Amino acid sequence: MIALRADTDALPVKEDSGESFASTVVDEDYPGGPFPVAHACGHDAHTAMLLGAATVWPASANGCPAPCCSSSSRPRGRSAR
């Protein structure tokens, strides 16, 4: 079996994009915080690539079982909204 994995989580940074959908969440429990949190890294893209790979896997795997997919935040983390 082959397993593919990707994460989505929030980092302790303020999002300054100015977009209407920008994160406004503040993690009160983050160590050393409170800190604003945002999806400010490549994890969202990694998850999109994982879903793309899982979509095309059956047609190209030559009989290898489909991958296991996981997309979750870090155990103590809190995802931005």
- What's the confidence (pLDDT) of residue 80? 47
68 phi, psi to nearest 5 deg: -85, 135
- What's the confidence (pLDDT) of residue 34? 93
pTM confidence score? 0.49
| Residue 77 vs residue 65, higher pLDDT | 65
Category of 63 on φ-ψ map: left (φ > 0), alpha (ψ -120 to 50) or beta? left
Q: Is the peptide bond before 31 cis (omega within 30 degrees of 0)?
A: no
Q: What is the pLDDT of residues 10-69, one digit of tens each?
A: 778 888 888 998 889 999 988 888 999 887 777 677 778 888 887 887 766 666 666 655
